[in-house]
Amino acid sequence: MAFFETHNISISFGGLRALERVSFEVNKGEVFSIIGPNGAGKTTIFNCINRYYNLDEGAFIFKDKNIAKVSPHVVADLGISRTFQNIELFKNATVIDNLLLGRHRHRRSNLFMEALFSPSVQRQEIESREKAEEVIDFLDLQAYRDQFVSGLPYGVQKTVELGRALAMEPELLLLDEPSSGMNMEEMEDLSFWITDIKEELGISFLLVEHNMRLVKEISDRVLALNFGVVIAQGTPNEVLGHPEVMKAYLGEEGASTAG
């Protein structure tokens, strides 16, 4: 049994079939990328995993458990964290508070203990801060630690979002276009971080990405989608060179000249 398995999922919005019997598997400790032109249904997969949308049919199996029917917050509780295409940070909170929010699933305190700020809550806070501080060190966010998110540059906000997802100590990390809006340098950092996280922490990645160079560099396996249908699946080289994929990106004519 694979670590994370998507089993024949379909969803439609009105008359539009956004996903049509999509299946794939993510193994433990692997970077799995989903590519495809705009509107192919990549982000829809993420939103289905996070339970923002209800599947019409199919199932998500995570660690032998079907998570296609649980409440949205349970998905995170089980160890799946994500970032968003259009940054969804807590804007009126500091960077450190955002990271501490990532620690939410590890809390052990209840409201009564918190109102008294009992010693156990204090210990928990310190523990959360240690973890958050580790993430800050890893992603070089020291300079922004106490700053408000709303005023930070776009690339840094993206990094903070990655940090928040990491602070959760997830087992599976969903990254939705992590490199969009980043400059070359930030992108190189990103590819380094992803490889590092994978190798050191053993976290698996599910990635939606448009930058083919990044996809090629970091992915173990790639899946190509077009209009909600899987058109190719395999190693980066196989999929990126696949005639159907070329056709989806470049059109009939472009594919024949490129091929």
| Residues near another protein (CB under 8 A) | 50, 52, 71-77, 81-82, 84, 88-94, 97, 100-105, 107, 109, 111, 114-117, 121-122, 124-126, 129-130, 146-148, 151, 164, 168
Nearest to 193 by CA among 158, 240, 238, 148: 158
Least distance (Å) from another protein to the CB of residue 212? 27
* Nearer Cβ to another protein (40/89): 89
CB-based contact 21:8 (threshold 8 Å): yes
* Nearer Cβ to another protein (1/116): 116
Least distance (Å) from another protein to the CB of residue 40? 21
* Nearer Cβ to another protein (89/182): 89
* Nearer Cβ to another protein (121/250): 121
Token readout for 29 is 């400790």
The sheet that has 16-26: what strands, in order across it? Answer: 16-26, 4-13, 57-62, 65-66
The DSSP letter of residue 18 is E
What ranges in the chain are assigned the alpha helix state H? 42-49, 72-77, 95-102, 111-116, 119-138, 154-167, 184-201, 212-218, 236-240, 243-258
Least distance (Å) from another protein to the CB of residue 155? 17
Strands 16-26 and 4-13: antiparallel
Least distance (Å) from another protein to the CB of residue 75? 8
* Nearer Cβ to another protein (95/239): 95
